[in-house]
Amino acid sequence: MKKIVCFHLFNDYSGSPQVLRTVIDGLLEKGYHIDLVTSRGGVLDELKGKENLQLIQYNYKFVRNAAIRALLYTWVQIRTFFIALSYIFKKNTVIYINTILPIGAAFGGFIAGKKIVYHYHENAKAKSTAYRILAKFMQLIASDIICVSQYQRSFLRRKKRVHIVPNALQKKFTLKLKPDTDRAFEEKRVLMLGSLKSYKGTEEFITIARRMNRYNFELVINDSQENIDKYLKARNITPTRNITIHPRQDDVAPFYNRASLVLNLTNKRFAIETFGLTALEAMAAGLPVIVPTVGGIAEMVEDGENGYKIDSTDCAEIERCIENILCNKDIFVNLSNNALEKSRMYFPELLIDNIANIL
């Protein structure tokens, strides 16, 4: 049985560590021995104490100062380079890189002569020059690359040993979801989960909430309350009474269980969702979704079937669509049922079996 050494740079509660948590749980059940190297303070901390798992952690956090951020990133790459290199004399070991950011670990594993498997969650072409350089490095060094959607895979020049494996949800999470079409329709509550990055649509969501004051809106932001307050103050944004903004949450299932509809307002001109885990979470809760018109997230939605695809900058059309969904029960029920059915195509067992075969 192979030993899997997983590297993930920043352990928080966003999509990529959530998916890694699902993968590691499944691989442990299959009998693999896993070493996990990551930072402290996120969803991967929940793996502590698991049988056949060794957790190696360091202190790392996102800082807004670019110079300090670069220094922290460099320090982590040096440290993980030597950790990966330390496996040079250990046979049957695979280096599993989650996201393209752990370049130090990938390089150390390559020098150690190990198989390097990347789980590629980003779309480097839509990001910065640094990301595009990391993506080129990945295509040169990786034994195998796992993409999360056909859209994401289409931007890679490399053709061989590139696999498409859609993400999935943890069983532990889906068991907390309580799909109830009647309740959801009566709630009239619109939910979005995102970050403070300007292209994620926070300001557009607040604008829509202000205009649609007959409905309730909830926004869960993957950041601290302090940073949220600074963000709103800097932009002179005062949320209206019908919107509640929450900081980073350990468990988002309760938000889906009291929602009626979930939005993703990522601006495709600045970033494109390669998958869209929040959309899948919403559908697993039996909730219709409104998502951008392109990207891996758009592959999950069929217009008028389980949700709608609308340009996130077209607030007027999004408002019209929200109104149509929340005022017509027949439409809502049809969307809700189809969303729940669609979510069943993303079983975690399929994700884990595919990745185990690649490893």
CATH topology of domain 3-164: Rossmann fold (3.40.50)
As a whole number of Å, the CA-based R_g of the chain is 21
Residue 4: per-residue pLDDT: 98
**If residue 220 lies in a helix (H) or strand (E), which one and from where to where?**
strand 216-221
pTM: 0.80
In this prediction, residue 123 carries a pLDDT of 86
Q: Which of 126, 148, 147, 170 is nearest to 270 (CA)?
A: 126
Nearest in space to 348 (alpha carbons), one of 96, 11, 18 = 18
Alpha-carbon torsion, ordered 296, 198, 217, 237, to 10 deg: -170
Structure tokens at 58: 């360091």
Q: What is the mean pLDDT of each run of 10 residues along the chain (359 residues)?
A: 93 92 95 97 94 96 88 96 97 96 98 97 87 96 96 92 92 93 97 93 96 97 94 93 95 97 94 90 97 93 96 96 97 97 90 94
The domain spans of the chain are 3-164, 172-343
In terms of Cα–Cα distance, which of 133, 102, 132 is closest to 116?
Answer: 102
Would you state the pLDDT for residue 305?
Answer: 95
The CATH architecture that domain 172-343 belongs to is 3-Layer(aba) Sandwich (3.40)
Domains 3-164 and 172-343 share a fold: yes
